[in-house]
Amino acid sequence: MIGLLQRVREARVCIAGEVVGEIDGGLLLLVCAERGDTELQAEKLLTKLLKLRIFSDEQGKMNLSLQDRLAAAQPAGLLIVSQFTLAADTSAGNRPSFTQAAPPAEGERLYDGLVQRARSLHPHVQTGRFGADMQVELVNDGPVTIPMRIAPPASPT
């Protein structure tokens, strides 16, 4: 599973001019399920991002997680947006290949499971809409942008 995590001051996702998800501050996660991914990769990605210490403490050091901010009553939203283009392979030619992205039905199932689990662990979760043409607006804080990849287990040989 691939994630692109951005620390944001604010972020929103719109579909056809309508805001469908919005946070005042926290993390924006763009996420893509790859072929072979399971709920295990989604769980590992979510666990890691909730505990990732990328917010500044009183001394200005990246030392606080999203959960730490929540405990301190600071903005701690999580906006999760599906983005299959994170699986782009640009190694050959000029047109990206997306063959490593999970098939749409599988990707949607894993995305929905990730969102459901996120909502059970964090009180401020907003989303886009899987497969929709979305416009994402954000004010990146820092900027801080962190790629994350949780690979499926290696196949036994």
For the chain of 157 residues, list the mean pLDDT of each consecutive stretch of 10.
97 98 97 96 96 95 95 93 96 95 97 98 97 97 96 69
- Structural domains in the chain plus CATH codes: 2-90+97-142 (3.50.80.10)
* Pure H helices in the chain: 39-51, 66-71, 104-121
Nearest by Cα to 87 from 17, 27, 29, 33? 33
What pTM, to 2 d.p., does this model score?
0.94
3-state SS track over 99-127: CCECCHHHHHHHHHHHHHHHHHHCCCEEE
Nearest by Cα to 27 from 100, 77, 67, 101? 77
**Catalytic site positions:** 83-85
Q: How many CB atoms lie within 10 A of CB 154?
A: 6
